Amino acid sequence: MELRQLEYFVAVAEEANFTRAAQRVHISQSGVSAQIRALERDLGAPLFDRSARTATLTPAGAAALEHARAALAGAAAVRQSIDDVNELVQGQLKVGMVTACTVTPLFDALAAFHRAHPGVEVMLVEDGSDRLVDAVRTGALDVALVGTAGTAPQDLEGFTIISEPVVAAVPAHHPLAKRRRVTLAEVCAHPLVTLPRGTGIRTVFDDACVAQHLDPDIVMQASAPDAVADLAQRELGVAILSRSMTDPAPGTPSVLRAVAISDITTPAVLALVWATGSSPARRELVTHARAAFAAPASR
């Protein structure tokens, strides 16, 4: 008894026709018939009633069908398990990260993955969030850390790391610094410094401006949030950032004041995303990432 004989047997049983079964398994009808006859001789009983136009299972064939399916599923599981091991021994993992977003827990997760699976080549790619999401969808990337507006893409799997409001960041002596809350129109009355298009924060801001028919005066853009904050400190424009991006480094005084924008209700989200499907390397990295982002030191 051979696995291919069981495969042909299941195909004929499900198609109820030798010709259609042969087309399904990509061999000739005579080849399927010969293998089924060999299987019947091996088992000592006919599996199909061939007296009608359709191939009907005999009682022996009906009794064998589920066991044949189970045997084929078991063989597929053996092959998949070996493929999984091989991928974690000598595979490749492609990880995307939004440009200039230094997130230590992601690096911790990559380091832990590398220690556990040193044979897997890890590639790290920086790009805009919109392009990273497209690369995950097409399979060009296994997983990516991206910024989005409101929620992570609904067609991808993932988990949210940060969800927080978009704010206007200004020096202490700026006219807006005395306000606890301002409107988007009041913010857009000033020159602005922002992150580039394709980032979650910029998407939140742009969508809000379009909804209110506002034409913001964006005088400068920088890919790194620290650079945007630095330009605002130098009075070159009001910075559009998420709230945590305005926090000073430990041990340094606060230079910028984060002012809430009352009519931007969509949060800026940082999320780890991946496409639906089974990839051992990706599963392992996601496990390490969940642990790294949940660790107290990452908060």
CATH code, 33: 1.10.10.10
Q: What is the pLDDT of residue 121?
A: 85
Using one digit for the tens of pLDDT, what is the confidence trace for 160-196? 998 999 999 999 999 999 999 999 999 999 999 999 9
Final residue of a structural domain among 63, 88, 113:
88
Using one digit for the tens of pLDDT, what is the confidence trace for 1-28? 888 999 999 999 999 999 999 999 999 9
67 φ, ψ (degrees, to nearest 5)? -70, -35
Tell which wins on pLDDT, 192 or 101.
Answer: 192
pTM score, two decimals? 0.66
Final residue of a structural domain among 58, 88, 118:
88
Q: What is the pLDDT of residue 237?
A: 96
Three-state secondary-structure class, residue 193: strand
Mark whether 246 and 176 lie in a shared domain: yes
Q: What is the CATH number of the domain that holds 148?
A: 3.40.190.10
Using the predicted structure, report yes or no on whether residue 298 has a pLDDT greater than 50. Answer: no
Average pLDDT score over residue span 112-141: 90
Using the predicted structure, report yes or no on whether residue 154 has a pLDDT greater than 80. Answer: yes
Q: What is the pLDDT of residue 74?
A: 86
Mark whether 78 and 96 lie in a shared domain: no
How many angstroms separate the CA atoms of 172 and 174, rounded? 6
Mark whether 147 and 173 lie in a shared domain: no
Mark whether 21 and 61 lie in a shared domain: yes
Final residue of a structural domain among 57, 88, 119:
88
Please, are residues 91 and 62 in contact by the beta-carbon 8 Å criterion? no
Q: What is the pLDDT of residue 41?
A: 93
How many angstroms separate the CA atoms of 19 and 82, rounded? 34
How many angstroms separate the CA atoms of 204 and 221, rounded? 15
Report the share of the chain in percent with pLDDT over 90: 62
Mark whether 149 and 282 lie in a shared domain: yes
Q: What is the pLDDT of residue 299?
A: 38
Count: domains in the chain = 3
Using one digit for the tens of pLDDT, what is the confidence trace for 203-238? 999 999 999 999 999 999 998 898 999 999 999 999
In the structure, what pLDDT confidence band is assigned to residue 296 with cuts at 50, 70 and 90?
low
Mark whether 125 and 198 lie in a shared domain: no
Mark whether 73 and 98 lie in a shared domain: no
Three-state secondary-structure class, residue 124: strand
CA torsion angle 126 207 164 141 (round to 10): -30
Please compute Rg for the chain using Cα positions.
30
Using the predicted structure, report yes or no on whether residue 103 has a pLDDT greater than 50. Answer: yes
What string of DSSP letters covers the chain? --HHHHHHHHHHHHHTSHHHHHHHHTS-HHHHHHHHHHHHHHHTS--EE-SSSS-EEPHHHHHHHHHHHHHHHHHHHHHHHHHHHHHHHH-EEEEEEETT---HHHHHHHHHHHHH-TTSEEEEEEE-HHHHHHHHHHTS-SEEEEEEESS--TTSEEEEEEEE-EEEEEETTSGGGG-SEE-HHHHTTS-EEEPPTTSHHHHHHHHHHHHTT----EEEE-SSHHHHHHHHHTTSSEEEEEGGGGSPPTTS---EEEEEETT--SPEEEEEEE-SS--HHHHHHHHHHHHHHHSGGG-
Using one digit for the tens of pLDDT, what is the confidence trace for 191-207? 999 999 888 899 999 99
Mark whether 51 and 83 lie in a shared domain: yes
Mark whether 10 and 76 lie in a shared domain: yes
How many angstroms separate the CA atoms of 1 and 10, rounded? 14
Mark whether 148 and 175 lie in a shared domain: no
Q: What is the pLDDT of residue 83?
A: 59
In the structure, what pLDDT confidence band is assigned to residue 286 with cuts at 50, 70 and 90?
very high
Residue range of the domain that includes 126: 91-159+272-298
Closest-CA residue to 152 (of 54, 275, 40): 275
Mark whether 109 and 18 lie in a shared domain: no
Mark whether 256 and 190 lie in a shared domain: yes
Average pLDDT score over residue span 138-151: 91
In the structure, what pLDDT confidence band is assigned to residue 63 with cuts at 50, 70 and 90?
very high
Q: What's the mean pLDDT when you consider all of the chain?
A: 89
